Amino acid sequence: MTEAVRTRGLFKRFGQQVAVSGIDLVVPRGSFTGLVGPNGAGKTTTLSMITGLLRPDGGLIEIDGHNVWADPVSVKSRIGVLPEGLRLFERLSGRELLLYNGQLRGIPLDEVGRRADELLRVMDLVDAQDKLVVDYSTGMRKKIGLAAALLHNPSVLFLDEPFEGVDPVSANTLTEVLRRFTASGSTVVFSSHVMDLVERLCDWVSVMDRGRIVAQGPLDDVRGERTLNEAFLDLVGARGNGDEGLSWLGSATA
Ligand SMILES: Nc1ncnc2c1ncn2[C@@H]1O[C@H](COP(=O)(O)OP(=O)(O)OP(=O)(O)O)[C@@H](O)[C@H]1O
């Protein structure tokens, strides 16, 4: 199996809190991979280390066989990132943002212009292309962020919660673009809490819980005879706190 992403013993702590506890993540090339886990499982921390945004305390990360922290330049030209809490250049218009990103990546201006026009069209952002990014809605921000991440044609695309706050129409657009991207042999890794979506899109799944990988492999192997949601609850242990306490809740009288 050729791997797009491989970590060995990847480790990160924040003070006393171990966020990522020595994980061996495997992402096959050309896969549509879902990184799932409950709140605080370590997904964002893992993606931040893999994409070179956060220095690990230990372990190794390779993308297309290149060591992320030893060879950051060749890795960064191969990856696209849509991070959580997406920070964009707010005072640029959507189109300017793409042109600027493309030039930062060293793509000739006429080629950047061509790619930007196509991406704006596919993302249904043509009418908003001259509007400042600060005035974009959440879904529009995700779409322009994805366009910026795709502009240099990366071989691996990392998306942290790409569908959060995105309406079904925009989610469909994002899905179509990502499907086309993986169909051409490129790799997508995205984190999500939405099991239905992961089940619909992904062919490979890594399940994290409390800083560890508790299951990893082809979607069909991880879920077995169950839905992915049932498998997820089995794997991370449904935390049955709902029946205790809160006796006051719902007893309000008019
Ligand atoms: N900068 C930080 N400083 C201190 N602790 C942090 C920091 N970033 C993350 N953590 C802790 O590390 C753990 C993993 O957090 P992380 O954000 O990676 O989880 P996650 O799986 O992405 O969660 P969510 O699904 O809620 O976004 C949590 O316990 C979190 O509180």
pTM of the predicted structure, to 2 decimals:
0.89
- The rounded Å distance from CA 77 to ligand 1 centre is 27
Atom of ligand 1 minimally distant from the CA of 39: 26
- For ligand 1, atom 27, the nearest C-alpha belongs to 39
Is 28 near ligand 1, meaning CB less than 6 Å away?
no
Could you tell me the two tokens for 214?
């508790």
How are beta strands 32-36 and 58-63 bridged, if at all? unpaired
ipTM of the complex: 0.97
Position 16, amino acid: Q
- Indicate if ligand 1 lies below 6 Å from the C-beta of 16: no
H-helix segments, 51-162: 72-78, 94-104, 109-122, 138-150
Nearby residues of 93 by Cβ (< 8 Å), 6 or more positions away:
129, 130, 131, 132, 133
Q: What residue ranges of the chain have pLDDT lower than 70?
A: 1, 238-244, 251, 253-254
45 in Cβ contact with 19 (< 8 Å): yes
**DSSP string for residues in 220-233:** HHHHTTS-HHHHHH
Domains of the chain (ranges; CATH) run 3-86+155-236 (3.40.50.300)
Could you report the per-residue pLDDT of 1-47, keeping only the tens digit for each? 579 999 999 999 999 999 999 999 999 999 999 999 999 999 999 99
At 204-226, the pLDDT tens digits run 999 999 999 999 999 999 999 99
Q: What is the pLDDT of residue 139?
A: 86
Q: Of 17, 47, 161, which is best to mutate to test ligand 1, by the most ligand atoms within 8 angstroms of its C-beta?
A: 17
